[in-house]
Structures are given as structure tokens and as C-alpha cells.
Structure 1
Amino acid sequence: MPDQDRREVRQEVRSGRGSVNTLAAGDVGDVHVTNNYYRVKWAGAIASAMVVAFGAVYYFAGDPDVRDAVADGPPLRVTVQTKDSMVNRNGAWFFPGRLVRAGQTLGFDQMAALMSKRTDRVDTYETTTLVTVEGNRSHTVDVTGIRVKVRSKVAPTAGGTLLVYPSQGEDTNIKVGFNLDEQVPVPRNADLEGEAYGRPYFDDHSVSVKKGEVVNFGFTVQTVKWDVTYDLEFDEVINGKHTTQTVTNGSRPFRTRGFAPAYDQAVGPYSRDGSFGVIPRARALGEMCGEPCTVRLAVRTAE
């Protein structure tokens, strides 16, 4: 066919995927097929892969402000463990009703077994809690203060059973105590061996938690006068920005109960063999907090 008579024919064929195939017919054997569907598909895949790769590089090696902005969860991951062992913590609990029969004595193991069956007990005089925090931000989390956020505060009602066992103390990394009988409870140095609270904790200490770093707080919260439910609030500074994080006892608030004006019975160490039995209320309070019964402060403050 002469060059001047050569014609070009174009035919569009649509496939089931909606692609467009263009066939150009010229000289014999000169056939070209272009599939625009797959061209677009591969171009999109390559672009997506580049975006993902760039994002990963930017996340792991880029600006920590961006990483913190998209971080999941609170600045500090928190685990709360309230000690329930009579051996490892202060032993003062309130139970509704009577715990033992008149004239009955129980050995240490028997008392521990009885307690394990009762889920209605309330910490009396002192709550001892281990709070473990783990850094969850690229920037360091500076804990600048901790305070008690009171939910309810009422005088303890009379009745029920007071069970006491002398304090055994607790070994924790950071020891912080709150006296709920203060008008404004502040975190104080807690000397468990000396059984007294000292200066405000953050007057002498600072706490900084890096990403992945774990810090333990051993809290003791005491009250003689009140029945209190409360949360703990952590004041935090992250890269110059202030925030507050609330810590609860699992799904519930913490609770510490002071001493009631009267009980149906008081139970405590009864004899030298370690057995427990009914004892006078005055003796029970004297073993727990002295006479008169107060929260002991190494540095006295207004109450």
C-alpha cells in the first residue's frame, strides 16, 4: 500500500475491568497494544509504597512532636496493685457485721483464710498501694505533682468489726504518703520504718519518666477522722505542655476509712502464740496509731 494511501485505524475495546485498550493498525505486523488500566494500577501501588516508606522513616527518625501527637494511650501507662497480704502491709480493716464469735480465737492462717472470703472489707487508717508507671511518649514526662482528688468524705459510722494487725511496712522505689486529715492533703516523704510523714515530697524530689522507662510509687494514705473515697491525680509536663492524668484503683476509686466512735467488736492479736481474738477498741487503736491516735508527722502541719 502506497504511503499516501496508508490509513490508520484506531479501535477502543473495553474489558470487564473498565480498562481501555487502544489498537493502532498500520503496516502489516505493526500492532501496538496499550493497557491503561494496569498502567494506572501499578503507578498507584508504587506511589502508595513510597508514601508508606516515607511515613515510616519520618515516624522513626522524624520530629518527636509528631510521634507524640499520634501516640495511643495516656502519657504514663499505669498499673495499680493494692496489697492484700496481712504479712506485707499495714493490717487495719473494717468489716460489716461481726467477724468472729464471742470467745473464739483464730490462728494467723485461719484469719487470712477468713479474710480472703470477704470482699466487703475496707482499708482502715491506712491504704498501701503500689503504682507502677511506664513512659508512653517520645518526650520525657516530668511528674511535677501528685494530689488526692476527693470524691466523698464523711465521718465513719459506728458498728461492724475493726480488725488490726501491726504494720509490717513495704519496700518500694519511691515512698509517698498522704494525710487525709490535713485540710489540703499534700504528698509527703513517707518513712515507713519511722512510721511518720515528713516534708512535702516534691520540695526535695523530681520525677522524670522516659519512653519505656518504669518507675514505682509506693503510696500510703492515712486518715483517723474520715471515710474517704478518692482518685490520685498526676500533674505532668511534656515538652513544656502541662496535663493532668487521673489514676483510679482499677474501675473503682480508692477508699480509706478512719476509726468509728464504736464497733460491734474489735479483733486483733490476742496472745503470744499469734492467735487473733476480740480485744478492747482502745487497745486496737493503740496498736495501730498510738495514744492519742493521730497520723504521725515528722514535720507538724496545720490540720
Structure 2
Amino acid sequence: MGDGDRREVRQQVRSGKGSVNTLAAGDVGDVHVTNNYYRVKWAGVIASAMVVVGGVVYHFAGVPDVRDALASGPPLHVTVQTRDSVVNHNGAWLFPGRLLSAGQTLHTDQMAAVMAKRSDKVDTYETTTLVTLEGNRSHTVDITGIHIKVRSKVTPAPGGTLLVYPSQGEDTNIKIGFNLDEPLPVPRNADPEGEAYGGRYFDDHSVSVKKGEIVNFGFTFQTVKWDVTYDLVLDEVIDRKRTTQTVTNGSRPFHTRGFASAYDQAVAPDSQDGSFAVTDRAKAMDKMCGTPCTVQLVQGSAATAK
């Protein structure tokens, strides 16, 4: 087919955005797709919109309300370190069965090695723990109170081994104690040696945590009457909004056990060389908390072990 005989055939094909002109006379090199214009146009619109949105996000990212809304995780990052070794624990433990054989004694380091292999021990009389809080909000987090959420509360069952270790004290930034024998345990002022509890802590204290700021609480929980599992609950105010945050001992609740009416065995430091040896319940408790054993309160009544 010569140039003179060439017939030009044009076909209009409608698309959603415009028309496509297709030449069917063999002139492939002359095909023009007009949709390219619209694609480039819409790509420019989308790019401009993304720039605008990015600018808005960048602008409002500096606003504390927006940063807090976008923040992940709880208002306060929490780290819990429970004191569970012989050398720095302020209390006693219960072990299933008998811990020592007849006539056996163990030095402190030997007792620590035995305890390191036992995951079945339960704090008796007192649990001590260091709770570290780090601010995770642009707005300051005000801690207005702390309370106990009890999961279970029963009378301690008899049996097992009572291991007693005299109080060694603990150096922490903030000392707060809970008497778990109170009907509604409240956070109380605790003296530096942990020997007694005073008035309500939040009656004359306030705690505020800014973003990235760290605050340490040294908690002690005492009971002579009950076997208690419980969580800590922080009452918080963030930008005038009230919320709560639950603190557990890792993946488990906190657990503190009072004194049972009888034990299979009681173990305490021997008065002669400090080694741990079998003794009777009364002597062990006298080493631990005096006779009678009580949760000592500067204000209020003290619970007594029977």
C-alpha cells in the first residue's frame, strides 16, 4: 500500500480521564497517549497534598496533646526489682517441705546458693521492692495516690519451712509502706530503716514525673495475719485527666504471706557464728519482728501474730 493509497483510520477510545487516539494504518510511531498528561497532573496534585499533610503533622507534632495522642505505651515506664536474696531482703520466706536436714547449718553464702536454685519461695511478713518510674508523656504525669488491688486474701496454711533473716534496711529515694493487715491498705510514710509506718504518704507529699524523668519508690509490704496476692495501682493525672496504671511483679502479682500457726521447720541465723540453723517458731519470729510480732505503726493500731 503506497502513501497515496494509505487510509487513515482514527478511533476514539474513551477512558475515565480522557481519550486515547489510536492509529490503525501502521503508523505505530505516531501513537499519542493523552492520558499521560492527566497522570502527571494528578501525580502533582497528590504530591502537593502529601507536602501539605506532612507540614501539618510536622507543625502539630510539637503540640503536647498531639504528641501524647501519638505516644505508645503507658504514661509511665515501670521497672520492678523485688529484693529476693538473703543479703538484701527485709523479711522472711516460706519454703515447701524442710529446708535443712537434722543438725545441718549453712553460712550466708551457702544459704544464698540454696535459695538461688529455689523458685518456690514466698515472702513472709515483708516484701520489699524497688519500683522505678520513667515519664513517657509530654504532659507531666502527677501521681496523686497509690492503692492495693487484692487478688486473694486467705489465712496462711500451716507447714513448710519458715526461713527468717533480720531486717537490713534499704536505701531508696522514696520510702512507702503498706500494712496489708489494714482493711484498706493505704500508702504510709516509712522510716529509713523500715521499722515503722507513719501517716498517709500522699497527705503531705506529691509526685510529678516529666518525660524522661526517673523516680524511684522503695516499697515495703507487711502482714502477720494474711496470705495475700495483690497488684499496685497508680492513680495518675495527665493534663487534668484522671487515669490509673496497674503495676505487677513482672508477669505475676505481688505475694506476701503472714505467719502460719505452725511450721514443719523454722530456720534463722544462729547467735554464735551467724550461720543458719534450725530453731523453733517463737525464736525465729522474735529475731524477725519481736514478741509479739506486729506491723509497727506510729499512727493507728498494729496487727499481732497469734
Q: TM-score, normalised by structure 1?
A: 0.87
The alpha-carbon distance between structure 1 residues 294 and 114, as it changes in their structure 2 partners (threshold 3 A), is: same
* 1:258-296 Cα shifts (integer Å, max 9, x gaps): 001110000010243221110111111011111110001
2:206 corresponds to 1:197: no
Q: Please give the alpha-carbon distance, in whole angstroms, between the structure 2 residues aligned to 1:194 and 1:187.
A: 13
> Residues 12 and 20 of structure 1 are in contact (CA less than 8 Å); yes or no, is this contact kept in structure 2?
no
Please state how far the C-alpha of 1:69 moved relative to its aligned partner: 2.6
Q: Please give the alpha-carbon distance, in whole angstroms, between the structure 1 residues aligned to 2:194 and 2:128.
A: 16
Q: Please give the alpha-carbon distance, in whole angstroms, between the structure 2 residues aligned to 1:216 and 1:14.
A: 71
2:125 corresponds to 1:129: no
Specify the code of the residue in structure 1 equivalent to 2:129. T
Describe how 1:51-66 pairs up with structure 2 within 5 A.
Answer: 51-59=53-61, 61-62=62-63, 64-66=64-66
- Match of residue 266 from structure 1: 266
Describe how 1:133-282 pairs up with structure 2 within 5 A.
Answer: 133-193=133-193, 195-282=195-282
What secondary structure does 1:87 align onto?
Answer: helix
The alpha-carbon distance between structure 1 residues 22 and 302, as it changes in their structure 2 partners (threshold 3 A), is: same
Identity over aligned pairs, percent: 71
Q: Please give the alpha-carbon distance, in whole angstroms, between the structure 2 residues aligned to 1:96 and 1:20.
A: 83
Q: Please give the alpha-carbon distance, in whole angstroms, between the structure 2 residues aligned to 1:108 and 1:250.
A: 27
Q: TM-score, normalised by structure 2?
A: 0.86
The CA RMSD over aligned residues, in Å, is 2.4
Q: Among 40, 57, 66, which residue is 1:38 paired with?
A: 40
> Residues 91 and 127 of structure 2 are in contact (CA less than 8 Å); yes or no, is this contact kept in structure 1?
no
Q: For this pair of structures, how many residues does the alignment match? A: 284
Which consecutive unaligned segments of at least 5 residues does structure 2 have? 1-9, 22-31
> Residues 125 and 257 of structure 2 are in contact (CA less than 8 Å); yes or no, is this contact kept in structure 1?
yes
Please state how far the C-alpha of 1:19 moved relative to its aligned partner: 7.7
Please state how far the C-alpha of 1:12 moved relative to its aligned partner: 6.4
> Residues 294 and 302 of structure 2 are in contact (CA less than 8 Å); yes or no, is this contact kept in structure 1?
no
2:76 corresponds to 1:72: no
Q: Please give the alpha-carbon distance, in whole angstroms, between the structure 2 residues aligned to 1:167 and 1:46.
A: 68
What secondary structure does 1:49 align onto?
Answer: helix
2:67 corresponds to 1:50: no
Instruction: After the TM superposition, list the runs of 4 or more consecutive aligned residues in structure 1 that deviate by more than 3 angstroms.
Output: 10-15, 18-23
Specify the code of the residue in structure 2 equivalent to 1:52. G
Specify the code of the residue in structure 1 equivalent to 2:90. N
Which consecutive unaligned segments of at least 5 residues does structure 1 have? 1-9, 24-31
> Residues 81 and 130 of structure 1 are in contact (CA less than 8 Å); yes or no, is this contact kept in structure 2?
yes
* 1:132-163 Cα shifts (integer Å, max 9, x gaps): 11111221111111011111111101100000
Q: Please give the alpha-carbon distance, in whole angstroms, between the structure 2 residues aligned to 1:187 and 1:272.
A: 38
